[in-house]
Structure 1
Amino acid sequence: MTASVPFRANSDLLDAQYTDWKKDPRSVDATWASFFEGFELGLTELAKRQAKGDASACETLSEKTLNFRMRVTNALLVFRSLGHIAAHVDPLSPSAPESATLSIEGLGFTQEELNEEVKTHMFRNGQPMKLQAMLEELRKIYCGTTGYEFMHIHTPEIQSWLMERIENRPFEPAPANEQQVDALRWLLEAETFERFLHRRYVGQKRFSVEGGESLLVALETILENLPRLGAKEIIMGMAHRGRLSVLANFLRKPLESLFYEFSENYVPNMVAGDGDVKYHLGFETVRKTRSGDEISVMLAPNPSHLEAVDPVVEGMARARQRLLGDTTERKQVIPVLVHGDAAFAGQGIVTEVLNLSQLPGYRTGGTIHLVVNNQIGFTTLPADARSTRYCTDVAKMVDAPIIHVNGDCPLEVAHAAKMAIEFRQTFGRDVVIDIVCYRRYGHNETDEPAFTQPNMARSIAAHPSTAAIYRGVLQQRGVLDEAGANALQKELEDELEDGVKTLAEREATLGNNPYEGSMAEPQPPFTFGSVPTGIEETSLKTLGEKLLQTPETFRLHPTIAKRFLAARKKAIDSGEGIDWAYAESLAFASLLTDGLGVRLSGQDVRRGTFSQRHCVFYDTETRERHIPLNNLAEEQGRFCVYNSLLSEAAVLGFDYGYTLLAPNVLICWEAQFGDFVNGAQVIIDQFIASAESKWQRPSQITLLLPHGYEGQGPEHSSARLERFLQLSAGRNWAVCNFTTPAQYFHALRRQMKRGFRKPLIVMTPKSLLRHPKCVSKLSEMAEGTSFKEIIDDENLMGPAERVTRLILCTGKVYYDLVEFREQNKIKNAAIIRIEQLYPLHEEMLKELMARYPRAQKKWVWCQEEPRNMGAFNYIRNRLSEISGHRVRYAGRERSSSPAAGSKAIHVLEQAKLVEDAFSV
């Protein structure tokens, strides 16, 4: 027999696998290891019998027979690996795609061999059958309306679990009639709802799910299967496609409330802020399953940045798992992310979030990813949108099984969803369901898809809805007659009409804002009132000493022991010289002993980018870890510190999401350098800066962004302070640039001790971490002390009455200014530090300025950043209004780059701007 081209390729694969097995049996898949073991045993037996002169040996174990068996094994592997490429998963295609690889010839068989009997323990436990029957069964399993990808998974146990369920599918009983009718109800709920909106609210955007209604079947199936698998909650994230239908039909948001959001009189149901469009809003509910169990379902609010909500949902899920004490198995809270096909393939944050899935500090026990695969992104077809066969290929990086299913086959979708939740609860890993469907209208209902995809548009227009197709299937099976289907349809239509009537009644009674009385309670207002954050000094000393302790047999690195801990011991004993990192540890320790939690995550945070933190000690022989902050008291909060993956967007999004459901935990995210925070700009813009205004979701997230000009070039100088100040409005957060460790200590404690929650943005230092003058006394953190938004000049070289120049600054440049003033013995200049730039405490500033009546006409703002960056453009008008005069500028000239790349240029620029502060 002459092998076909596909079989020759498969034969080469077999040879390669066999060679690898000969070198190391553990290096190949368990299925192949088992086959090769049997193959060699067969060859050995053949050789023994031939050596004894057994003439029948050549008949029973000939090379031809062994070759046939190898081709049978190869066929099994090919169907399991590639059967999905011939599956009929596209509802717009009349038939399944042809595959030469899976043809009789492609598998290396002849027509005559189809009648050969096969018997292999690798399929059906060695049950004998004709080759043709085996191939037909494999084709039915792997090339039906569901395609499976799982052979890329590296764990044999997981492969075997999936293979068993997939290949035993033909023996499963058909769903009960009640379950089959449920699937029709879920489809009709979505279809009827969308058509109702289309008729009643003509021309309004709703981002219809029509064509992808099976999404509701998947969600409802997951919900119904949760109680028996030990789950209690679902936390969801999704973009706008189908969101209104999910809100109405899955989360059961009251229809009258949803219809009101379409009204011209709609006013956002909130206490402050700007609100958001209806298809971005979140909702929480409790659903009762058919079994009578209650499942909490939360849909996170989201922006139009399609996948940006993904890490936020993961963080929310992790926080709920912590609250429920489910931190080991993580089976009680299930993250569910609904994606579009173009976004799943195209958005880098999807890959970043997948990468979180098995990391100790970020795993949530597995996420169920549902891809509503419209086979188009806005107006772009897959051929222009991705380089991979499937939009889901990126999920293979985390060994996620991927199930491709025809969206017109709701029972197949339901089966995929059931298997997905069982897989997640068994292995604690991500799983992907790719619901291949279509989009009935354009990107939104005002678009015309025929402009760019006329053929697809014609095909969709002629295609009956999923509900119509499935309704016909149920009638053919005798599960539901036409009268029953019509009654179900009318029941759903009546529910929608009742929603409109209820809204009209409320409007008639309550006026144009029928939901005003149900607004959420507001947070207490952001005030400048002093928050008592100081601690009794003896308690500080006790905590400081405990931070120095290690187990008796612990072998600490000598440098850490002799320098790091020795310096801290000297500081705590003397009550002076507390540096930045020690003040941070004291703040953390004090919160922990108050019973609060602390979470710190980011790139290299355990040691600290600048080797300043060392909050985790490692035994030099065993790498055993010791965390002093978790050994402070018998009853204390938990300190969690995680070195993150090399990502900004996913990790910051995760930690932000964590804050939404963990108000009693101080959550800090630290950038390796502040410059890199722009990798997470979407999370900052769409969530941290504006979520309270848009969605009434407060957060206490703290961003630690190393910032300061030390001649390290444009990528290691600026945390882009100007961007945070530009986003500052409505007292949405605090933006700070501290000059002392004590200020940092108080600010961290203030985050958890005041009566409201706001994000805190901190420009943290680099060179100041070890600056001999950037230290604090314990007395500055003791009882009775607190955070100061503005610090007056404490080291004037003459009386305040003689000061004729006020230099205002923030952060590291303060120390350069003080040094220049001392060296040049300048007595007429005062240096004021703005520690909290936003919100600016103008009343405090006015009080301080009153000390310097002769300096009103010479106010100078000094900064290290270029003039078009930093705080100058934000603060100059505010200062001018207070002083009544133009504020002068001392700093670098405008630039498109944050900093010079040359150390020599940096030094010259720095010297000039400091000198200018005393002369402009």
Structure 2
Amino acid sequence: MYRLNIRLRIETIVTQSHIIVNNRNYHSEKGVYGYRPKIKSHYEISPEYLENRAQYSNFYRLVQAYREHGHKLAKIDPISIEKIPKTLAELNLNRFNLQLNNTVKFRGILYGCQNEEGTVKEALQILNDAYLNHIATEFTHLETEEEREWFAERAEICRNDIINIETKKTIAKLMIESQNFDNFMAKKFIGVKRYGCEGAESMMAFFHELFNLSSNNNVKQIVLSMPHRGRLNLLTGMLKFPAELIFRKLNGQSELPEHLNMTGDVLSHFSTSVDLNFDGKNFLRVSLLYNPSHLEAVNPVSMGKTRSIMQEINEGDYSIHKNARWSDTILNIQVHGDAAFAGQGINQETLSLTRVPHFEIGGTIHMIVNNQLGFTAPPSRTRSSKYCTDLGKSIAAPIIHVNGDEPEDIVKATRIAFDYQRKFRKDIFLDINCYRKWGHNELDDPTFTNPQIYKIINSRKSIPDKYYEFLNKTGILNKEEHDEIIDKHNGQLKNALENMNNYQLQLNYFTHRWKNLKQAQANLTEWDTGIDSNLLHYIIEKSVDIKKNFEIHPKLKKNLIQPRLKKLKDGINLDWSTAESAAFGSLLYQGYNIRLSGQDVGRGTFSQRHAMLIDQSTGEIYIPLNSIVKDQIGQIELANSILSEEAVLGFEYGISINSPMTLAIWEAQFGDFFNGAQIIIDTFITSGETKWMINSGLIMLLPHGYDGAGPEHSSCRIERFLQLTDSKENSPDCDTVNIQIANPTTPAQYFHLLRRQMVRNFRKPLIIISPKTLLRHPLAISTLHEMTTKTLFKNVLTDNKVLDFKSVERVIFVSGKHYYALIEYREMMNIKNIPIIRIESLSPFPLLEINEQIQKYPHAQMYIWSQEEPRNMGAWTFIKPRFENLCGRPIKYCGRDELSTPAVGIGQLHQRQAQEVIKNPFTMR
């Protein structure tokens, strides 16, 4: 505080020095930091005194200028083709009315010096070393004075940090081995894209220091996400990943046991979880996540996994201790490429989550491997900002730029980053400026587009070689030791290459928290998901049980609480939200956690849910479902999210792959909003198990229905999800499909779907085509009996209104809310002999149940698929080949014609089409 008070006083002098002159009395005036007390002066202040005070304030402004602008002159680019300017107007001494020989106060202004005062020349030596050398910092944009002061101090004293000999030799060894690994791969596997580390080997200094600091500061687990570059080097160099497995993959063999029948993934997506030991006592678990080729898509996944771990160990937001806002033992690390970080929109979405309730994880340490290339384009064509890290300023995160040629400075910068994250629990960026020796990959020729840069790269020594020479000159690492590192490492790699065919693949699946689960097996189609009637009554009552002195909105009391209790008493007419509350409450009662995420999910897009109640006087939030029983274990987290789809869905996927005991649900505001998250759906949700044997029980709720809302709010694009399923046309294997797709038409069916997702002994993603109008439709109701013991989700719902089976000549098959429009028309036209069969499960394709329905009507001559979506959308193209190939019956289409948009935007045209798709199934020939 002494330093801070001095600084405040100096700035106040600048704004108020005119007050105390000419031997007069003055009243208080407001300065920058507050009001100055009244001052009575009985003597005139000398000009010399005022001059000295002004000089001190000018010196302070000079120091601040270095802190704000010094990074512009820093020597952070190891391959720069542009000369760094020698001067900068903002740092010109003439701006501050200072001379080199002026004596100024250091104490309270400048850190990292022992003297109370000194000359401006001496101060510039400190400032140049701190801000204009190989480490550049950007921190004057930070939100609080405390953060800015802390960062200034660390930036100015880090130049004096001691890197001990052991650390120097360790990072030299890691870089030498990384380079040797790339050389070995280049010789043994010619023509392979491995996305090696060459040109960025100094990232190993970051990882070593970070892991070491974490291990010695009570961090128990690191969740790490990173792209391709240097991934194999890190895996084999520090994360104990068997080189045999890499060589097997390069030899065309699978990285997964053959009996799993998985497709696997490319080499540069490999993953691991490993326990490291740095101090001989504490184990640090590092989990490197699988990632797709879509750069940066894994970042929100890593955040979701991090938060899920915090919930498991009751840390951070989940701690029983009120003051424990952040987790002390879990740390999230994200590694980025420079062009991808600046260019991919998912990064803005992900950063926007960092301080949002229910998404906070206490800050991420970001490390950017700054290749200074985007594929082959230079920085001037890959971003509009000066630095690739400028997006970090949107959340007021500090940024440290480091020259990749200086591994020891990377160690110093890593210490600052780690300490900042631990102290303030906010995001921080470390930007390592390096280069790519081979362009985008080892088969590329970057000289086509960047001849000048690659002249520099091809004429220089590698980073490991330069650092070895430095250590050799200082007597720390001699040639014999250097050669021994390479010889020993070559021996290990050669042994791995020779033994790759004998390597026994490790079964790392269904262990730890997943040990009671297994991979889905064929024909596991029935699961009793009903619950005891008395318990069901109790849970539904508790779902609207308001605590004392809580002022609920009068409309909710009238339209939610009273109607729900009335329906419960009668045991009939239970609506969608009641069934949902019953499902949620029963799972919570059984000890499962639930996380429902999306925009305004607490009340629901259509004001149907109201699981999160707000006191109308105090604004207090109350969630009745979290108070079903005393000391309730299972909790529901209603995460009202930012206006994001891709990052939020990725976050929820991260939750789901970590904890099989948490029902993770993402609800789109409207069904088609998933479009913004297509990358997460394609590369994680629908393919994660097939590629990586990573299981997920994530549910996506996608409101769907043609109600005249126009092109963008009608369809959840059922056809896209059906196209992504691996449900086969000739042999559907029930529950072994990659994703489940259901279009339930009753609250009870929805109830069972939610419960089934958790009570089964395996996990599969579930896409629920959820309703809009059915939320309050008078016919979309269920009885209490349909949710009690020995009831379950039915893949196909029969038509109990048509009883004369032999008179049936036409059978209509339908899915979803379109069913209600058809039965209303049938009732209006008094049609008695045309059954309407609902297919509730689209994937897996319910072959057995459909065949049972076909057999019921022996004289049927025509089978019709009726849908409200256009012909080139909806389920038609999925249903037709399976129905005809598996059921052996031709089926006709009845619905809207092909369309380029999901729906029309003209009201009259919509009404005409709606009438046609309802009438035609009963009249077409």
TM-score (norm 2): 0.92
What's 1:244 paired with? 232
Q: What's the CA shift for 1:885?
A: 3.7
User: SS where residue 605 of structure 1 aligns?
Assistant: coil
Q: What's the CA shift for 1:439?
A: 0.2
User: SS where residue 68 of structure 2 aligns?
Assistant: helix
What's 2:842 paired with? 837
Aligned residue among 744, 748, 757 for 1:751: 757
Residues 1:900 and 1:99: Cα distance change in structure 2 (over 3 Å): farther
Residues 1:198 and 1:698: Cα distance change in structure 2 (over 3 Å): same
What's 2:151 paired with? 162
What's 2:909 paired with? 905
Residues 1:393 and 1:517: Cα distance change in structure 2 (over 3 Å): closer
- Partners in 1 of 2:6 and 2:83 — Cα distance? 28
Q: What's the CA shift for 1:322?
A: 1.3
Whether contact under 8 Å (1:88, 1:96) holds in the other structure is: no
Q: What's the CA shift for 1:203?
A: 0.9
String of CA shifts for 1:582-632, please: whole Å, max 9, x gaps: 101100000000111111000110010000000011110001111001000
Instruction: Return 5+ residue gaps in structure 1 as ranges.
Output: 1-28
Aligned residue among 209, 221, 246 for 2:197: 209
Matched residue count: 878
- Partners in 1 of 2:247 and 2:415 — Cα distance? 32
Amino acid at match of 2:424: F
Matched, 1:580 2:567: no
Q: Compare 246-255 and 608-617 and name the one that shifted more.
A: 246-255
String of CA shifts for 1:429-463, please: whole Å, max 9, x gaps: 11111000000102111111111111111111111
What's 2:322 paired with? none
Q: What's the CA shift for 1:785?
A: 0.7
What's 1:626 paired with? 622
> Which residues in structure 2 correspond to 1:122-201 (within 5 Å)?
122-124=109-111, 127-172=116-161, 174-201=162-189
What's 2:425 paired with? 428
> Which residues in structure 2 correspond to 1:650-799 (within 5 Å)?
650-729=647-726, 731-796=737-802, 798-799=803-804
- Partners in 1 of 2:169 and 2:508 — Cα distance? 38
Matched, 1:807 2:796: no
Residues 1:170 and 1:691: Cα distance change in structure 2 (over 3 Å): closer
- Partners in 2 of 1:765 and 1:207 — Cα distance? 46
Residues 1:90 and 1:216: Cα distance change in structure 2 (over 3 Å): same
Amino acid at match of 1:36: E
Q: What's the CA shift for 1:269?
A: 3.8
Whether contact under 8 Å (1:49, 1:57) holds in the other structure is: no
Whether contact under 8 Å (1:528, 1:841) holds in the other structure is: no
Whether contact under 8 Å (2:575, 2:776) holds in the other structure is: yes
What's 2:273 paired with? 284
User: SS where residue 100 of structure 2 aligns?
Assistant: helix
What's 1:11 paired with? none
Whether contact under 8 Å (1:46, 1:58) holds in the other structure is: no
What's 1:38 paired with? 13
Matched, 1:861 2:865: yes
- Partners in 2 of 1:99 and 1:632 — Cα distance? 69
- Partners in 2 of 1:103 and 1:883 — Cα distance? 79
Residues 1:851 and 1:710: Cα distance change in structure 2 (over 3 Å): same
Residues 1:882 and 1:437: Cα distance change in structure 2 (over 3 Å): closer
Whether contact under 8 Å (2:315, 2:326) holds in the other structure is: yes
Q: What's the CA shift for 1:884?
A: 3.3
> Which residues in structure 2 correspond to 1:254-269 (within 5 Å)?
254-266=242-254, 268-269=256-257
What's 2:358 paired with? 361
Whether contact under 8 Å (1:707, 1:718) holds in the other structure is: yes
Q: What's the CA shift for 1:572?
A: 0.9
RMSD over aligned Cα atoms: 2.1
- Partners in 2 of 1:528 and 1:66 — Cα distance? 83
- Partners in 2 of 1:393 and 1:30 — Cα distance? 31
Amino acid at match of 1:464: K
String of CA shifts for 1:644-693, please: whole Å, max 9, x gaps: 01000000000001111100111100000011111000000001001100
> Which residues in structure 2 correspond to 1:817-828 (within 5 Å)?
817-828=822-833
Aligned residue among 631, 636, 660 for 2:633: 636
Residues 1:439 and 1:732: Cα distance change in structure 2 (over 3 Å): same
What's 1:9 paired with? none
- Partners in 2 of 1:38 and 1:859 — Cα distance? 89
Aligned residue among 475, 479, 489 for 2:476: 479
Residues 1:800 and 1:162: Cα distance change in structure 2 (over 3 Å): same
- Partners in 1 of 2:676 and 2:869 — Cα distance? 20
- Partners in 1 of 2:91 and 2:506 — Cα distance? 70
Residues 1:177 and 1:830: Cα distance change in structure 2 (over 3 Å): same
- Partners in 2 of 1:392 and 1:914 — Cα distance? 55
Whether contact under 8 Å (1:79, 1:102) holds in the other structure is: no
What's 2:890 paired with? 886
- Partners in 2 of 1:109 and 1:905 — Cα distance? 72
What's 2:30 paired with? none
String of CA shifts for 1:547-590, please: whole Å, max 9, x gaps: 12111211101000111111111111111111111101100000
Q: What's the CA shift for 1:36?
A: 2.9
Matched, 1:108 2:79: no
Residues 1:52 and 1:329: Cα distance change in structure 2 (over 3 Å): closer
Q: What's the CA shift for 1:381?
A: 0.9
Q: What's the CA shift for 1:529?
A: 2.7
String of CA shifts for 1:745-766, please: whole Å, max 9, x gaps: 0000000011211000001000
String of CA shifts for 1:46-99, please: whole Å, max 9, x gaps: 44489979576123214xx55544432221111111111111111113897225
Whether contact under 8 Å (2:62, 2:96) holds in the other structure is: no
- Partners in 2 of 1:91 and 1:758 — Cα distance? 48
- Partners in 2 of 1:183 and 1:47 — Cα distance? 64
- Partners in 2 of 1:54 and 1:284 — Cα distance? 74
- Partners in 2 of 1:129 and 1:544 — Cα distance? 75
User: SS where residue 642 of structure 1 aligns?
Assistant: strand
> Which residues in structure 2 correspond to 1:456-475 (within 5 Å)?
456-475=453-472
Residues 1:241 and 1:74: Cα distance change in structure 2 (over 3 Å): same
What's 2:730 paired with? none
User: SS where residue 499 of structure 2 aligns?
Assistant: helix
What's 1:224 paired with? 212
Q: What's the CA shift for 1:491?
A: 2.5
Amino acid at match of 1:811: G
- Partners in 2 of 1:570 and 1:595 — Cα distance? 28
Q: Compare 437-446 and 292-301 and name the one that shifted more.
A: 292-301
Whether contact under 8 Å (1:235, 1:299) holds in the other structure is: yes
Q: What's the CA shift for 1:150?
A: 0.8
String of CA shifts for 1:820-870, please: whole Å, max 9, x gaps: 000000112100000000111101110121111121x31111111111000
User: SS where residue 147 of structure 2 aligns?
Assistant: helix
What's 2:436 paired with? 439
> Which residues in structure 2 correspond to 1:239-388 (within 5 Å)?
239-266=227-254, 268-269=256-257, 271-327=260-316, 328-388=325-385
What's 2:515 paired with? none
Whether contact under 8 Å (1:186, 1:216) holds in the other structure is: yes
Whether contact under 8 Å (1:379, 1:449) holds in the other structure is: yes
Matched, 1:524 2:520: yes
- Partners in 2 of 1:486 and 1:44 — Cα distance? 71
Residues 1:84 and 1:825: Cα distance change in structure 2 (over 3 Å): same
String of CA shifts for 1:256-290, please: whole Å, max 9, x gaps: 22222211445644512211111112111111114
Residues 1:475 and 1:45: Cα distance change in structure 2 (over 3 Å): farther
Q: What's the CA shift for 1:501?
A: 3.3
Amino acid at match of 1:768: L
- Partners in 2 of 1:215 and 1:517 — Cα distance? 29
What's 2:103 paired with? 117
- Partners in 2 of 1:307 and 1:267 — Cα distance? 24
String of CA shifts for 1:349-380, please: whole Å, max 9, x gaps: 01111111111211112111110001001111
